[in-house]
Amino acid sequence: METSNSAQDTQPIPVRQPPAGSPPPDRSRPRRLGVLVAGAAVVAAVVGGAGGAAIVSATTADDGGATSSSTSGAATATTASTGSGDISTVAQQVLPSVVQVQATTQGGESVGSGVVLTEDGRILTNAHVVEGAGVVIVTDSDGTEYRADVLGSDSTADIAVLQAQGAVGLTPATLGDSESVEVGQQVLAIGSPAGLQNTVTSGIVSAVDRELSELGTQQQPQSPFGSPVQESSGPSYTAIQTDAPINHGNSGGPLVNAQGEVIGINSAMYSPNEGSIGIGFAIPVNDATKILDTIENGA
């Protein structure tokens, strides 16, 4: 396991807190992609920047049968029944527990998402979102920004733990049990696809125990910023598969069940054209919390 410690400034103050009543900052500008696996088209759901990476526009999937999504501000969502409450109710419950994560590296900037674990700013995200980061900024659902430290990461499991400096009163997510996930159950994905914070998409669990090695076994893995890496150092985990639209920027955000419980951490998508086609992958939350415990105990 690789564990890295941040050397960032630890001054316990937020980077910026907007005036009361001001709208959240505009996150709609296009950003660069980061490819996790080339050719095979299994790509990290993170918006990144580096030489040679493709440019995408700030759009979300809306092709054939894909469910609708909401973006930025006070999110609204479709109102189809989830079995225990409508989607908009679940979305409003979970949105305050999801942050946008911006990481600045020598190669540029990546944008992903994160799940709030504690009121004082402990945050769970994907390792590839903050890989090589010198500065990390997290933005809560109300638009308040905090400088964050990377407490540790495991690149194989694709899990990282952040600590927002000076954070108080954040809303921790409720973690569920990924062992109880069933094919066909309703789920929501929440995050910042293409940098559009507070985006909610819905779908179902389309498979469980999906080995990512089943896709593209002959292809050469790449880092989130498009640089080839050794196959042994790439992410390796068994995933929950979902058809809830996941795009670049959803990495690290939650996959949520109808009770508003986090059952997975969105991490990758199958994307022949570098856009969502309704095949996304999430790290089961039970696996993520085991890695979290290991990182925190070693931090």
pLDDT in tens, 175-209: 999 999 999 999 999 999 999 999 999 999 999 99
According to DSSP, the β-strands at 122-125 and 238-242 are unpaired
Residue 56 is assigned to a structural domain of this protein: yes
Residue 16 is assigned to a structural domain of this protein: no
Catalytic amino acids? 128, 158, 251
Residue 148 is assigned to a structural domain of this protein: yes
Q: Is 199 helix (H, G, I), strand (E, B) or coil?
A: strand
Dig out the tokens for 200 from the structure.
């909610």
The number of distinct structural domains making up the chain is 1
Question: Which residue range(s) make up the domain with 190?
Answer: 42-212+222-298
Residue 238 to residue 290: CA distance in whole angstroms: 14
Q: Is the pTM of this model over 0.75?
A: no
Residue 11 is assigned to a structural domain of this protein: no
Amino acid making up residue 184: G
Residue 18 to residue 24: CA distance in whole angstroms: 8
Residue 279 is assigned to a structural domain of this protein: yes
Residue 281 is assigned to a structural domain of this protein: yes
Surface-to-core class of residue 213, CB atoms within 10 Å of its CB (0-12 exposed, 13-18 middle, 19+ buried): exposed
CATH number at residue 190: 2.40.10.120
Residue 249 is assigned to a structural domain of this protein: yes
- Cite the beta strand spans of the chain per DSSP E: 42-44, 98-105, 108-116, 122-125, 135-139, 145-154, 159-164, 174-175, 186-191, 199-211, 238-242, 254-256, 261-270, 280-284
Residue 133 to residue 117: CA distance in whole angstroms: 21
Residue 120 is assigned to a structural domain of this protein: yes
A 10 A CB-CB count for 241 gives: 20
- From first to last of the 299 residues of the chain, give the pLDDT tens digit: 444 444 333 334 345 454 455 554 444 333 322 323 333 355 666 665 432 222 222 222 222 333 333 333 433 333 334 444 589 999 999 999 999 999 998 889 999 999 999 999 999 999 999 999 999 999 999 999 999 999 999 999 999 999 999 999 999 999 999 999 999 999 999 999 999 999 999 999 999 999 877 665 434 333 333 333 334 445 678 999 999 999 999 999 999 999 999 999 999 988 777 677 889 999 999 999 999 999 988 75
